[in-house]
């Protein structure tokens, strides 16, 4: 048994959950926040038998698109009284960060 944790963009979450459910996978959805952009993400937690992990990852990859966005960037320590004006920067958001962890024991109650 493996535990698959996928950190995905909020915009992709419901479509991915529907896709996983239609293929017999269940997922727990957690709200999370990214460190760099401090933007909302979704973390999905799924259990899968070891031989099904690759299929699960492919399903997630099929719906997670990277996209470019223009974001204002405020350097650390810059405040409104500093006279600093944030400038927009193009960044890539979306996609997925996927972790696969071994499960020593699983019990559903």
Asked if pLDDT for residue 105 goes beyond 60, the answer is: yes
Provide the 10 A C-beta neighbour count for residue 61. 14
Select from 9, 61, 77 the least CA-distant residue to 37: 9
What pLDDT, on the 0 to 100 scale, is given for residue 37? 60
Q: Who wins on pLDDT, 23 or 89?
A: 23
Q: Exposed e or buried b for every residue in 7-41, given b needs 16+ CB within 10 A?
A: bbbeebbeebbeebeeeebebeeeeeeeeeeeeeb
Read off the pTM: 0.75
Contact 52, 20 (CB under 8 A): no
φ and ψ at residue 37, rounded to 5 degrees = -95, -10
* Architecture of the 2-102 domain: 2-Layer Sandwich (3.30)
Q: Who wins on pLDDT, 63 or 99?
A: 99
The 3-state DSSP class for residue 73 equals strand
- Taking only Cα atoms into account, the Rg of the chain, rounded to an integer number of angstroms, comes to 18
pLDDT in tens, 3-42: 999 999 888 899 999 999 999 999 999 998 876 666 678 9
């Amino acid at each position: 048994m493996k535990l698959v944790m996928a950190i995905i963009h909020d915009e992709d979450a419901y479509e991915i959950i529907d896709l996983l459910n239609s293929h017999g996978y269940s997922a727990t959805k957690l709200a999370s926040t990214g460190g760099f952009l401090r933007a909302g993400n979704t973390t999905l937690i799924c259990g899968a038998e070891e031989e099904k992990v690759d299929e699960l990852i492919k399903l997630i990859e099929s719906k997670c698109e990277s996209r470019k966005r223009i974001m204002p960037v405020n350097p650390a320590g810059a405040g409104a009284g500093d006279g600093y004006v944030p400038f927009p920067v193009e960044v890539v958001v979306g996609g997925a960060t996927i972790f696969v962890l071994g499960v020593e024991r699983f019990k559903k109650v």
